Amino acid sequence: MRAITLRANPALDDETWEFKVPNDALTLPKNQKPTTIFGKVVSFSIEAITLRIEQFPSNRILNADDPSKFILMSFNRTFRFPDQSPKVTVEYIVRMMKRGFLLNGVQYRFYHHSHSQLRGRSCFLRAANTDAELDLRIYRMGDFGKIMNVAKRAKRIALLFSSAQIDYHLDPKCVADIPDIQLGDEVFSDGCGLISKRLAIQLSRTKKIVFRETRYTPTVFQIRYLGYKGVLMLHPELDTTTKHLAQFRKSMKKFTSTADNTFSVVGHSRPYSFGRLNNDIIVLLSSLGVSNEKLLAKQQEYFDWITNASKDATKAIDFLSCLELYPLVERALLDGIDDPAVKKEIRRLQSSEVSKARDERTNKFKSRMMIHKSRRLFGVCDPYQVLKEGEVHIRITAARRGPATPIHADVVVVRNPCLHPGDCLKLRAVQHPKLAHLVDCIVFATVAKPGHKAAPSMSSGGDLDGDEFFVCWDSDLVPSRVSESYDYPGNKEFNKKEVTRADLAAHFASYNASGVAKVSALHAKWARSSPLGALCVQCQELNALHSQSVDGANIRIPDKLATPPEQTEPYILDLLEEASDKFSILFTESASRRTDILVVDQEEGKKLLGQLLQSKQSAVSEYELFNLACRLATKHSIDIRPYLCQIDIGALTTAEKHTITTTLSLSAVDYPYIWNSLVRSDILTARDLYQRDLGRPFSLHRLYSSRISGLSTFFEYLRMATQDYTRKVLILQTDPRFAIGIFMRGVIPWDEDPEVNENVVVCSFMPRTASSATLRPCTAGYRLHCSDYRLQLYDKQIQQTFIFVTRPPAASGVEVATSIALDKISRSVLQNLGKVLRKPVTAIELHVVSNRDRVAHQLFDLWFEHVPTEESVRRFDRKPAPYRLNALQDVEWDALDDPWLKGAFYRNKHTADSMAEYLSRKMLPEIDKILDFAIRYHAEDEIFLVFVYVIQQQPLSHAFAIRWIERYPSLTFALLKAYPPDNETRLNAELESFVHSIVRNIIRSANDTRIAALVALEKIAKSIGMMNLEHYIDILMLTALSVRSKNLVQEVLLVLNESRLEHAPSSAAAAYGHKHALGVVFDCAEEAADECPCNDDGRPKKKQRVPPSHAKLAFGPDYEKSSQVVATIRIDARNSLRLHSHVRLQAASKAENRWIDAPIMDGVVVQALKGELKINLFHPAPPEMEVMDWNMYDAGSIATTNAMTDALKRLLGEREECCAFYSLITGEGGSEISEELETELDESSTIPEGLNESQITAMKSWRSPLSLIWGPPGKNTIINANLYHCLILSDTSLLSRDWKNHCHGPNIA
């Protein structure tokens, strides 16, 4: 909306602010989303006071109130009267707040603001006649009245106005308060609570948190709930040890409230949140000794990273993935970075990175170089107190190394804004098993020596209520010098006897952030001019003033700090700015000269594939890299299998390995390294593996390699291996001539000396000698000690040590040393090597077996039992038949009966215009053939082009539209686009006659279209509401049986139900039908979800209570009309499927020629014979169905559901003809008993003697409009009396009054 000027040039002496505008100027936009709030925005600038309608930020206050009663008032940063002090402007705003702002006769008074609005000079006004009315509203939501400091009360009330969407309604009974972790006055858990995995998953689903198109559950949530503010960190123990879903610390409770149970997530942890070096951090690092050369080199690396994105496809992938533009990554790889659209997008992103080196408003230089060995992470506390002071636990999602790689290094941790060198904390990152579930966050220690501060508070006075920290482990940027941190004191609080709304308004009006800007500017000048940089005394004093002025407090800058000396030498920021400006010029010039890159052919594709797999990516996992490589290989018809050796198999999960081997049909014999990480060992040779038969298919995963993680971290990984895995192998090398393997099974307690007996086997490897590898099983009495500094294997007494591995003193210069009693292996080994006594270890590896892999456990144990593996022949061959999807490039056009079809597909690529020209010469039967051919050969573009052309012809052929949306449900969206619904959510008049078919096919496409299907249903809500009730119930049933995602089916059912409730003709019978139909289908959908659980993408989960049956499918003779297929299954296979069974059919494998998910269909069994089932499908079958193998899942029986829906449709359709009690059941008729019936009942209500209390209650129950007695009460007289009363209440004119003579207890049904 265009802004309306309420007053031009506001004057200093203004006394009233009363305005009138046309009512239509205040009209809010139509068709706004439920979560979107629009309202009146009034802006003050020195030029004018203006009004416009804009979107409001969502917050708890607006969500619980009427937004039309609000005005969002903002004051431009430049709003200051000329030649006047800032105080005059403050007085103007205060005066306006006291008088009130009148718009069209409604008075609006100061209400409040969020903290960010306070800094941005904006606040909310609400319609009210007095301040007391507003106070009553605010103080109802929290106990703010007891806070007698104006600034603190404003800060607490601001939490209600902070931006937050309603994500969840959390019952306060499900949460608990817990104490803070505290030592003296120091709080280590300030703002950090705990959340259960159940609630974390539910929040992720409700808020639809996704990462790279996959649902993602963070480990840290920044929240607002009741009076709590802070973060909740994942704490799995809550799922097992308590009924609470979340626990809040005392420090999180900012006020007490019971008025609003809405739970809001305002932030959460994310993978690949790379850190950037800004001016503040650079100044501090430079002051702490990081050289100018290193900082300039890092900036140049950043510039090269930007530049190379348009030169090299692998660099482009890294560039785009780091910027979280993963969809563009696939386009860049498959279409090439020379593709015009891709090139344009990369160029735009490069230009954006370059241009952001200068502030848009001030044009000042501001560094923002990305550091790949860094992250921006939420801080949380260590709830177990296992970390020592000065330690942190960091596990990040690292590229090509799996989802949770521990960081073991010195790290620099800093929080913005930062002006003191002590804000840069140098901490030691370690790994601890108890904290292993916390990923993509930094866990701070919760212990310290008396008088020491918590680490977060030492960095710019931070805490854990949502602060994010720059964490960097790049050795070039971790300073060798550290500075003592500043002791950040809290601002003094001045309490008043009474705090009024005028005080709060004055606090808003007088808030001034100019003090922060002045201090920051002076700090930068002193840092430039002093040889000590930010370590100079003046900078440290200015930091103290900065910490006081952050919250708007007025400060006075002493004269001694106000005049820094002139800078004499170029400062690091000047050098970086100069280099940045040169790069910006060169980048612009080179971009204009850049020539197009050649189109990639197959040979170039092979070269690119090799480069991709060898590239160092910063934000792509190993499995994502494989997917990209596989798609590239498929595009250029390259066999990817020879390139698999360049994949780091150790970074893949077991599920990902299964996917790769299945997709590429890799034999475990031909490709053993997929499963056996020993095959890719850096220590063992092929000869070593052959001698001990270690190279066979065997599920071993490399947990640690000193080549990658360094020798210094060995004992941390040893702890992980011994505590988290029951089968593990330690390979240790002292020189190229000798290595030793220690095979261990069972749980090995840490820092103890348990008996391991025969559960440890030692194997020596000597690749350069003629002797073979020697196996030495341990015997009863052997003990194994593992701790933070040594591993020791000995026989009963420590004097009988076999193997000793230790961490020597630092002065020795050796990171890990070992002593081995070689004579315990064999004399020949001792003779060849001599003694191994405190010898430096050159390389170490740890390989582990998944605790869930029982087969691998059995294979592992063979080294203890020394029994060769026997072949196991399976009863059923589960290997699915390979198949290819029909593709246009495989068509032999000349062999077709209709070779003219080629014109519709092979004219380079049709546009809408060229297709229209081609089809204009075709009759409708020929167009049907084209569409049929396009569907059979998956020509998606042509399907839509042809369909859209035909439906745009007038008059619209209803038969054509219905026929093809049934064949290809996604075409329904093209139909709705061509004939859009009106603003009243009613279908276009052209489509009203087949609304049932349209809704049906939106539902059938919902598994693929998901949110689009929901939007489409909402846009035709009125037409759904006006549908025939029988058709509507059929649609509900189809939804329950065909939409597989549990969340999605619920959302679709609720959208359908809301459409009926809002638009269907209102009646008691209709309400009854809608209520019970929804209940029946909800039960049906829940049964399907229980019997065949599916993930959020609607794909059956791998773990099912009942394994699927395996079947071959064939099209039924009348498939086009009935959608019936015939399933053939093994007669000797177990099978739970019966008549009326709901089945889910999933292709047992993926196509060889296209990288798409295996298709899934739902259906219901209509005939069940031995070894054969006839199934009516709800989804179209793929053309290749008959050559594919299928997994058939039992999703429960729908016999009862069918009976219930049929009964409901009959009751509502036939009314009293179906049931005499129709009016009483549905509430359609009156339910009062007439006076005549009341009299007749009284006359016949003699209660027989000798009845118990239940029988008397049964006798009296018939005075209700409708009653049901469960089972006969026990006496014929009672049954007869009750039936008599029942007939009196009903129409008994046609019944004989002597019915008692013919009805006796045993004959009454």
Q: pLDDT tens digits for 964-1009?
A: 999 999 999 999 999 999 998 999 988 999 999 999 999 999 999 9
Task: Please tell me the distance from the alpha carbon of residue 371 to that of residue 299, in angstroms, as a whole number.
Answer: 9
**Does the structure show a pLDDT above 90 at 1127?**
yes
Torsion sign over Cα 1268, 1273, 1276, 1281: negative
Reported confidence tier of residue 1297, pLDDT bands at 50, 70, 90: very low
SS (H, E, C) 805-828: EECCCHHHCCCCEEEECHHHCCHH
Query: Would you say how long the chain is, in residues?
Result: 1309
Contacts of 872 (CB under 8 A, 6+ apart): none
* pLDDT tens, residue by residue, 238-262: 988 778 899 999 999 988 887 778 8
Angle between helices 958-967 and 924-936 (to 10 degrees): 10
Bridge pairing between strands 391-396 and 425-430: parallel
Indicate the pLDDT class of residue 597, thresholds 50, 70 and 90.
very low
Check if the beta carbon of residue 1207 is closer than 8 Å to that of residue 1135: no
Closest CA to 1081 of 1028, 1039, 1031, 1021: 1039
pLDDT, one tens digit per residue, over 1158-1177 is 899 999 999 998 778 999 99
- Of 160, 156, 108, the C-alpha closest to 133 is 108
The pLDDT assigned to 20 comes to 92
Q: Crossing angle of helices 971-978/958-967, nearest 10°?
A: 150
Nearest 10 degrees: Cα torsion 103, 104, 109, 115:
-50
Between CA 1113 and CA 1160 the distance in angstroms is 13
DSSP 3-state helix, strand, coil percentages of the chain (rounded to 5)? Answer: 40, 20, 40
Distance, in Å, from the CA atom of 1265 to the CA atom of 356, rounded to the nearest integer, reads 75
What's residue 1298's pLDDT?
Answer: 42
Q: What is the mean pLDDT of residues 107-124?
A: 91
Give whole-number Cα distances, 190 to 126, 208, 248, 1099, in Å.
Answer: 34, 28, 11, 42
Distance CA 1172, CA 1127 (A): 6
pTM of the predicted model as reported, rounded to 2 decimal places? 0.58
Q: In what order do the strands lie in the sheet with 168-169?
A: 168-169, 262-268, 220-225, 228-234, 192-195, 246-249, 175-178
Tell me what percent of the residues of the chain surpass a pLDDT of 70. 88
781 vs 1233: CA distance, rounded Å: 90
Residue 163's pLDDT band, with cuts at 50, 70 and 90, is: confident
- Per the DSSP assignment, residues forming a β-bridge with 210 are 215
Choice between 536 and 233, residue whose per-residue pLDDT is larger: 233
Phi and psi at 161, nearest 5°, equal -100, -5
CA atoms within 13 A on the CB side of 110: 25
What pLDDT, on a 0 to 100 scale, did the predictor assign at position 180?
93
Cβ atoms of residues 157 and 144 within 8 Å: yes
Separation in Å, CA 833 to CA 191, 685, 801, 827: 59, 18, 18, 10
pLDDT at residue number 243: 82
Buried/exposed code over 1200-1227 (b: 16+ C-beta within 10 A; e: otherwise): ebeebbeebbebbeeeeeeeeebbbbbe
Q: 517, 490, 589, 468: which is closest to 151 by C-alpha?
A: 490
User: According to the model, what pLDDT value does residue 1295 have?
Assistant: 38
Low-confidence winner among 101-110, 873-882, 1032-1041, 1054-1063 (lowest mean pLDDT): 873-882
Please tell me the distance from the alpha carbon of residue 741 to that of residue 731, in angstroms, as a whole number. Answer: 4
Is the confidence at residue 870, as pLDDT, over 80? Answer: no
Closest listed residue to residue 655, CA positions, set 693, 606, 621 = 621
Task: Give pLDDT tens digits for 420-472.
Answer: 888 999 998 888 888 988 999 999 999 988 888 899 999 988 899 889 999 99
Buried b (16+ CB within 10 A) or exposed e, 1011-1021: eebbebbbbbb
pLDDT above 90 coverage of the chain, percent: 34
Q: Contact, 630 vs 1155, CB < 8 A? A: yes
What's the whole-number mean pLDDT along residues 877-895? 84
Which tokens is 623 given? 């499995």
Q: What is the pLDDT of residue 947?
A: 92
Q: What is the DSSP letter of 484?
A: P
The residue with tokens 């900036």 is 299
| Confidence band of 1279 (pLDDT split at 50, 70, 90) | low
Pairing of strands 214-215, 210-211: antiparallel
Tokens of 1306: 């045993």
Q: What is the 3-state secondary structure (H, E, C) of 92-147?
A: HHHHHHHHCEEECCEEEEEEECCHHHHHHCEEEEEECCCHHHHHHHHHCCCCHHHC
Which value, to the nearest 10 degrees, does the dihedral of the CA atoms of residues 155, 156, 162, 164 take?
A: 160
Q: Is pLDDT larger for residue 873 or for residue 448?
A: 448
Burial of 171 (0-12, 13-18, 19+ CB in 10 A): exposed
Spell out the alpha helix ranges (H) of 461-513: 501-510
Tell me how far apart the 2 most distant CA atoms of the chain are, in Å.
Answer: 122
- Who has greater pLDDT, 1254 or 283? 283
Q: What is the overall mean pLDDT for the chain?
A: 84
Report pLDDT for 873.
Answer: 40
d(CA 75, CA 125): 13
The answer to whether the CB of 678 falls within 8 A of the CB of 847 is yes
Distances in whole angstroms, Cα of residue 1211 to Cα of each of 1047, 1072, 1207: 31, 11, 6
pLDDT recorded at residue 541 = 85
CA dihedral 1062, 1064, 1070, 1076 (to 10 degrees): -60
User: CB neighbours of 380 closer than 8 A, spacing ≥ 6?
Assistant: 192, 220, 231, 233, 438, 441, 442, 443, 444, 464
Tens-place pLDDT, residues 607-644 = 777 777 777 777 777 777 778 888 878 877 887 777 77
CA 252, 257, 261, 264 torsion-angle sign: negative
- Report yes or no: 791 and 801 within 8 Å, Cβ to Cβ: no
Backbone phi, psi, residue 509, to 5°: -65, -35
Pick 1088 or 1234 by higher pLDDT. 1088
Residue 553, pLDDT score: 67
Joined together, the tokens standing for residue 536 give: 């100079």
Rounded mean pLDDT of 191-203?
Answer: 93
Which range in 202-206, 309-313, 495-499 is most confidently predicted, on average pLDDT?
202-206
State how far the Cα of 776 lies from the Cα of 768, in Å rounded to an integer. 20
Q: Using one digit for the tens of pLDDT, what is the confidence trace for 1065-1074?
A: 888 888 898 9
Does the pLDDT at position 816 exceed 50?
yes
More confident: 231 or 873: 231
Instruction: Give dist(CA 486, CA 419) in Å, integer.
Output: 10
What confidence score (pLDDT) does residue 281 get?
94
Say what the pLDDT of residue 555 is: 77
In this predicted structure, what is the pLDDT of residue 101?
94
Give the range with max mean pLDDT: 391-405, 669-683, 1133-1147, 1226-1240.
1133-1147
Band of residue 86 on the pLDDT scale cut at 50, 70, 90: confident
| C-alpha–C-alpha distance, residues 1237 and 916, integer Å | 75
Q: What whole-number distance in Å separates Cα of residue 451 and Cα of residue 670?
A: 63
